[in-house]
Amino acid sequence: MLTIGLTGGIGSGKSTVAKFLAELGAPILDADKVGHAIYQPGGPAYADMIDAFGQGILAPDGTIDRKKLGPIVFGDPAALKRLNAIVHPKMFARMGEMVAAMRAEGERKPIVIEAAILIEANWQALVDEIWLVVASKERVIERVERDRGMKPEQTEARIRAQLSDDERRRHAAVVMVNDGTLEQLRAAVAELWRGALERNAA
């Protein structure tokens, strides 16, 4: 049975594709949510993160406070690398368990893992194929400014900090070019999902 990794850069349209897939009945696993869950108290990354970054990252209630962690790791590549080295393997393990649990509970459809950092985090082994969403830089800048209020230079900086689409394409079985309308994207997603259901049944 098929597991699909859905990835793409900031503002490419991943979440929108995930939403369309969910409307078609696809079970979706959101890597961001898994990321948040693993550093909750009692979660698999909680103690390691305190060991690495100190009690100063904790809120009064003992949870890890992202607003305290953020300034420590952003702008310090070595610290960010340490954080990722703790969190990414735990997320990989957790998502693997979640897919296995869904299968054990009888899920027979393709499972979609939505993960912006699928390739950066080296999670390819979790999935059978990668679906990549791309959009031109102009479209991305315009959409995230319109919908998230991000300034073009902020968006450009984020794009520069990420893996390039050329690099992502090397890993992708499917590339969705999201430069058209939402309705065009929806139709492309429906077509891809039909194909996935067929491959999944084969």
Q: Under the rule (CB under 6 A), what is the footprint of ligand ADP? A: 8, 10-16, 143-144, 147, 178, 180-182, 185
Q: How far is the CB of 114 from ligand ADP (least distance, A)?
A: 8
State which residue, 85 or 182, has the beta carbon closest to ligand ADP: 182
Q: Do residues 88 and 122 touch, judged by C-beta distance below 8 A?
A: yes
State which residue, 65 or 145, has the beta carbon closest to ligand ADP: 145
State which residue, 30 or 48, has the beta carbon closest to ligand ADP: 30
Q: Read off φ and ψ for residue 131, nearest 5 degrees.
A: -105, 125
Q: How far is the CB of 17 from ligand ADP (least distance, A)?
A: 7
State which residue, 87 or 176, has the beta carbon closest to ligand ADP: 176
Q: Residue 44's closest CA among 33, 53, 35?
A: 35
- Six-digit token string for 57: 């990252």
Q: Which amino acid is at 117?
A: I
Q: Residue 72: is it exposed, middle or buried by C-beta count within 10 angstroms (0-12/13-18/19+)?
A: middle
Cα–Cα distance measured from residue 113 to residue 6, given in angstroms and rounded to the nearest whole number: 6
E strand or H helix at 4, and its extent?
A: strand 3-8
Q: How far is the CB of 151 from ligand ADP (least distance, A)?
A: 15
Q: How far is the CB of 94 from ligand ADP (least distance, A)?
A: 21
Burial annotation 13-50 (CB, 10 A radius, 16+ → b, else e): bbbbbbebbeeeebebbbbeebbeebbeeebbbbebbb
State which residue, 40 or 164, has the beta carbon closest to ligand ADP: 164
Q: How far is the CB of 135 from ligand ADP (least distance, A)?
A: 7
State which residue, 15 or 200, has the beta carbon closest to ligand ADP: 15
Q: Residue 32's closest CA among 82, 102, 94, 109?
A: 94
Q: How far is the CB of 19 from ligand ADP (least distance, A)?
A: 8
